[in-house]
Structure 1
Amino acid sequence: MITQEFAKLWWKLSKDLRTHMETELAPSLTEGQLTVLELLQVAGKTKMKPSDFIDYLATTPAAITTLLDRMEKSGLIARERDEKDRRIVWVILTEHGRTECERGVQVREQFLQQYLSRISSHNQQLLVYLLGKVANA
């Protein structure tokens, strides 16, 4: 059945990517931390509130706070109180965080390129198109 085969292949690709990322990013970065850094850098936002990460990290607010605590301790991010409303805390990307984000993205890009190089450029485009259709259905 096609759904079983899809599930098996998806699981293998996901597992391979997770394993590779965990190995290559350690000990200074995790995938969740990379996601936060990318949201701050790639989205072009200079700062975000901790609650802004909830939609992207499929976890609880408490877990996000713990994640941000670790990231701040590692110098990947800084937190600042809003000047007008002291209740608001902004998460800001540090220079170290920017460097680690670039490294993490490069690690992922190299891994995915290795996988995608097994098929032609046309089929790569087709694969991305079809996955887009499935993901946005």
Structure 2
Amino acid sequence: MYAQEFSKLWQKISKDLRTYMETELAPTLTEGQLNVLEYLLAHEQVKPSDLIEYVSTTPAAVTTLLDRMEKNELIARERDEADRRIVWIRLTAKGREEGMRGSRIRQQFLEQVLNRISAHNQQLLIYLLGKISKQ
């Protein structure tokens, strides 16, 4: 009964967020790159394979994404000392800065959207979204 209305609203919010993020992150960052940077902000180092599920993509796409990020000095790739087959991905200072900037940009958008409703309704919305996201 409400699925179609929910779908339209979800698509609108998602599109607005994507458009805002693309505009505000440009020209130094994409939203896909921001997702990787945020993951790296939470982890000291990761292997490229750790990112596949997190960014919901293929190994080839992760490699391409990391190539661009390395070229833009957002990340550094380092071979493991003990096992040269393993490559570790680490944030650079620029990557850390850009990741934090991107997180602030997303936070600002979400606060603007949520501030259209009362604090009580924000809490209720988050609660209800939590209920449906756990299915």
TM-score w.r.t. structure 2 length? 0.98
Alignment partners' CA distance in 2, 1:54 and 1:40: 13
Looking at structure 1, the residues matched to 38 and 64 of structure 2 have their Cα atoms a distance apart, in angstroms, of 18
1:129 CA displacement = 1.0
Counterpart for residue 84 of structure 1: 82
% identity of equivalent residues: 69
CA distance in 2: counterparts of 1:7 and 1:66, whole angstroms:
32
Q: The residue matched to 1:86 in structure 2 has which SS?
A: coil
* Letter matched to residue 34 of structure 2: L
Q: How do residues 21-36 of structure 1 correspond to structure 2 at under 5 angstroms?
A: 21-36=21-36
Q: How far apart, CA to CA, are the structure 2 residues paired with 1:105 and 1:70?
A: 20
Q: Name the structure 1 match of 2:119.
A: 121
Q: Aligned-residue CA RMSD in angstroms?
A: 0.6
Q: TM-score with structure 1 length normalisation? A: 0.97
What residue in structure 1 maps to residue 92 of structure 2?
Answer: 94
Q: How many residues align?
A: 135
SS of 2:28's partner is coil
Aligned to 1:65: 63
Residue 56 of structure 1 and its aligned partner are, at CA, apart by 1.2
| Unmatched 5+ stretches in structure 2 | none
